[in-house]
Structure formats: structure tokens, C-alpha cells
């Protein structure tokens, strides 16, 4: 039996078959960690399209519509040019394609940093237009006031500390964080600040393992690692990276498949069959009714 849901294209909403499980909520994700401990790590992957969401949904707890879509989908150099409209279009598609996972949508660079009020306006639009359950934003202590402002007004926030790709120009690159005492202290401090501000979970990206472990042990909210540690309360990866869509991936990515090779071989066969008129055959052509 297929584990994916069927899209009923005659309506604007996807019709699930089999009947989906209840969608996970922010409190359930938050309470996955009890008394500072997580029994079974949370599973999170990025998703950008409805069909991708359908395929991932049954296996994941959280689907992140990451601003990494700038590079993965749009071929941009960084996440900086990603717009609110891009996030909304992809966020709505992922919500339509999923029934079980909590859907979190990234706030893009420039859309939330200016003030808590500006952040609220953008986050409320993202939630209203997509139907997602929460937003994610990058930054630790500097964003604490904004996180408190949003959470007190009905917008659940997942925070993101350590290597924050939207700050690539300040950080000077995408290298792992936490190698100096100053960076170590900053990451720990940022984690505590976003927790105290009301974030329900925090992504720790590209931090050296001892700090990822210390952060996970010190916080009450789930710490979701990427390039961090297996000791974190959950893991996230960019789906296209772990499926092997790209030749170059960061060191922390495990490639579970080589989808690029599968596509290359398949399309080569298609091209060959078109050029030799082997495709289409009688099976794929319409004939007059007898």
C-alpha cells in the first residue's frame, strides 16, 4: 500500500488516502522534551513543494519551508534575496501537501529585523496566507525582544542560533561556530535568551559538537541540530542535500541517495528514445475508437 497521499485535483484541497494522522502541534513538539530530556529525537526536513511535502510528511515531525529554497529552488548565491512572497507561495504548497507534520516557515532576511512590530506584520501574513503553525527566524539575544513580542501575540517561533546563514556577510562565511571561547559563550547565551523569550524550539546550525551537547543539556526546549551532534533533541537537513541532488554539500550532510545520478540516467534514456523514435509507443498514443 502506498504511504503517500493522493491529490484530488478536482478540488482546491488535497484529499488524503489513507486517512492522515492528526497534525502535530507546537505544544506537542515543545513537550517532546521533558525535564530536559528527549527520548526519541525529532525528525525535521526541509520541504518546498506540495508533492515533496506529501512524500516526506509521514516520516517527519516537522517540515521546514527553509529560506534555503533561495539556493535549492531558485539557484541564488545565498538566502539574502529571498522574499516574503517566495516563502508564502512555497509555504502554502507545503501546508497543502501535508497532514501530519508541523509546518514551520522561515522569515526571510530583511523581513523581521527592523522591529518587533515589523516582524509581527510579516509573520502574521505568512501564517494567514500559508496556514503554517509557526515561523522560524535567525538570531539569538538580538532577536529575543522580537521573539517575546511574537509569541505573546499568538505566533509560535522556532529560533536559529550558531551558524546563521542570513548573517553570512557579518560572519565572513559558512564555517562552523563555537571554536573560540567568545563564540562558545555567545551560542550558550543566545540559546538561553531565545528560550526565555518564548521560542518553542531552536535550531543549532554548524556548531562544534561539545557546544551542541552543552546547549542541548542546558535548555528545556528542543534543540534541533544541523551540523551539530547526534545528542541534540532532533535533526534537520536540507532534503535535496540528503537525497543527493547536488555534487557539493556541506561536510555534515549524509547523502542517503544519489538522486542526481538517477535523474541523469533516466533523462538520458528518455532523450535517446525520443531521438530514435522509440518513444512514444502504442501504449502512450491515442487511436480512433473502433
Q: Does 66 bind ligand KIV (CB under 6 A)?
A: yes
Binding part of the chain for ligand KIV, among 23-31, 62-70, 249-257, 269-277 by CB under 6 A, reads 62-70
Cell numbers given for 212:
551542541
Q: Does 203 bind ligand KIV (CB under 6 A)?
A: yes
Task: From the candidates 40, 113, 117, 205, give the one annotated as an active-site residue.
Answer: 205
Provide the 3-class DSSP secondary structure of residue 164.
coil
Cell numbers given for 285:
498514443
* Residues 249-278 contacting ligand KIV, CB under 6 A: none
Binding part of the chain for ligand KIV, among 65-73, 94-102, 209-217, 262-270 by CB under 6 A, reads 65-73
* Cβ proximity of 103 and 133 under 8 Å: yes
Q: Does 47 bind ligand KIV (CB under 6 A)?
A: no
> Angle at the Cα of 196 (from 33 to 238), degrees rounded to 5?
55
Q: Does 241 bind ligand KIV (CB under 6 A)?
A: no
* Residues 154-183 contacting ligand KIV, CB under 6 A: 160
Binding part of the chain for ligand KIV, among 61-69, 90-98, 190-198, 243-251 by CB under 6 A, reads 61-69
What are the start-end ranges of the H helices in the chain?
Answer: 26-30, 50-57, 69-72, 84-96, 116-130, 144-151, 168-171, 181-197, 209-218, 239-243, 259-275
Active site residue 138: no
Could you give the CA distance from residue 45 to residue 64 in angstroms, rounded to a whole number? 6
* Distances in whole angstroms, Cα of residue 65 to Cα of each of 7, 89, 133, 180, 226: 20, 10, 12, 31, 15
The footprint of ligand KIV on this chain (CB under 6 A) covers a number of residues equal to: 12
Using CB under 6 A, list all residues that contact ligand KIV: 46, 64, 66-68, 106, 160, 203, 205, 226, 236, 238
Catalytic residues: 205
Amino acid at each position: 500500500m502506498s504511504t503517500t497521499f493522493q491529490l484530488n485535483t478536482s478540488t482546491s484541497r488535497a484529499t488524503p488516502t489513507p486517512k492522515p494522522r492528526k497534525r502535530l502541534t507546537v505544544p506537542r513538539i515543545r513537550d517532546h522534551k521533558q525535564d530536559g530530556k528527549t527520548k526519541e529525537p525529532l525528525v525535521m526536513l526541509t520541504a518546498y513543494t506540495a508533492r515533496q511535502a506529501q512524500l516526506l510528511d509521514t516520516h517527519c515531525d516537522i517540515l521546514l519551508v527553509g529560506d534555503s529554497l533561495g539556493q535549492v529552488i531558485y539557484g541564488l548565491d545565498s538566502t539574502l534575496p529571498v522574499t516574503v512572497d517566495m516563502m508564502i507561495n512555497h509555504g502554502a504548497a507545503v501546508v497543502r501537501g501535508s497532514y501530519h507534520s508541523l509546518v514551520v516557515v522561515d522569515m526571510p532576511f530583511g523581513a523581521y529585523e527592523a522591529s518587533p512590530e515589523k516582524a509581527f506584520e510579516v509573520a502574521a501574513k505568512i501564517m494567514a496566507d500559508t496556514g503554517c503553525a509557526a515561523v522560524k527566524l535567525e538570531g539569538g539575544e538580538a532577536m529575543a525582544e522580537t521573539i517575546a513580542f511574537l509569541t505573546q501575540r499568538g505566533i509560535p517561533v522556532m529560533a536559529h542560533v550558531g551558524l546563521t546563514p542570513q548573517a553570512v556577510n557579518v560572519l565572513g562565511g559558512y564555517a562552523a561556530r563555537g571554536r573560540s571561547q567568545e563564540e562558545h559563550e555567545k551560542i550558550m547565551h543566545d540559546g538561553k535568551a531565545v528560550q526565555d523569550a518564548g521560542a518553542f524550539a531552536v535550531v543549532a546550525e554548524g556548531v562544534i559538537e561539545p557546544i551542541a551537547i552543552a546547549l542541548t543539556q542546558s535548555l528545556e526546549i528542543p534543540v534541533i541540530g544541523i551540523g551539530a551532534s547526534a545528542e541534540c533533541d532532533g535533526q534537520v537537513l536540507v532534503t535535496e542535500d540528503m537525497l543527493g541532488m547536488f555534487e557539493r554539500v556541506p561536510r555534515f550532510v549524509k547523502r542517503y541517495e544519489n538522486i542526481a545520478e538517477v535523474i541523469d540516467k533516466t533523462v538520458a534514456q528518455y532523450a535517446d528514445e525520443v531521438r530514435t523514435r522509440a518513444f512514444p509507443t502504442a501504449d502512450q498514443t491515442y487511436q480512433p475508437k473502433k
